[in-house]
């Protein structure tokens, strides 16, 4: 996955190794949606944050052209673009399974699916237990496919 640096600050996160498998070997301890609270939690999240063992995180955000922006997260803080902050919240995603008994999902690889312009429109985070699939649209769609 391509991880960009946030333009307005925040932690830089893990250095990308130059290929899309930079997340390989990481352990995901939690997955949280970023929701705009006045709309309630009935809809899809505006972003999804994968919390990695050791306190870092990766944030996948849907852009206005229905592509994904993949950046270092700011867990446990909300992203800087959540303004006003009191109207936003992190929340678990009910459609995802609970964290495995071992306490984390172990990443074995990643895949970026691109559109005709070369922009990422879907990201797959492959874990030993199954695959997280994050697809861009009006909002994000997040699924988990067990192996």
User: Distance between CA 104 and CA 51 in Å, rounded?
Assistant: 10
Compare 134 and 11 and report the one with higher pLDDT: 134
pLDDT of residue 5: 41
User: Distance between CA 82 and CA 45 in Å, rounded?
Assistant: 12
Judge whether 100 and 82 are in contact, CB under 8 Å: no
pLDDT of residue 40: 58
pLDDT of residue 121: 93
User: Distance between CA 62 and CA 138 in Å, rounded?
Assistant: 8
**Cis-peptide into 70, omega within 30 deg:** no
Distances (CA, A) of 91 to 21, 42, 98, 109: 27, 12, 13, 25
Parse the chain into domains and list their residue ranges: 24-144
Q: Which two tokens stand for residue 19?
A: 């290929």
Query: Please, what is the Cα angle at 20 between 94 and 29, to 5 degrees?
Result: 35
pTM of the predicted model, to two decimals? Answer: 0.84
Express as a percent the part of the chain with pLDDT over 70: 82
């Amino acid at each position: 996955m391509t991880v960009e640096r946030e333009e307005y600050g925040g932690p830089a996160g893990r250095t990308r190794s130059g290929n899309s498998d930079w997340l390989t070997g990481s352990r995901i301890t939690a997955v949280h949606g970023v929701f705009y609270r006045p709309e309630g939690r009935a809809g899809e999240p505006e972003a999804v944050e994968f919390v990695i063992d050791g306190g870092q995180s990766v944030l996948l955000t849907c852009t206005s052209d229905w592509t994904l922006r993949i950046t270092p997260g700011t867990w446990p803080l909300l992203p800087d673009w959540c303004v006003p902050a009191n109207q936003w919240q992190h929340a678990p995603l009910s459609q995802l399974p609970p964290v495995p008994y071992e306490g984390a999902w172990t990443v074995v690889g990643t895949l970026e699916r691109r559109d005709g312009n070369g922009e990422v429109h879907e990201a797959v985070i492959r874990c030993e237990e199954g695959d997280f699939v994050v697809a861009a649209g009006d909002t994000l769609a997040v699924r988990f496919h067990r192996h």
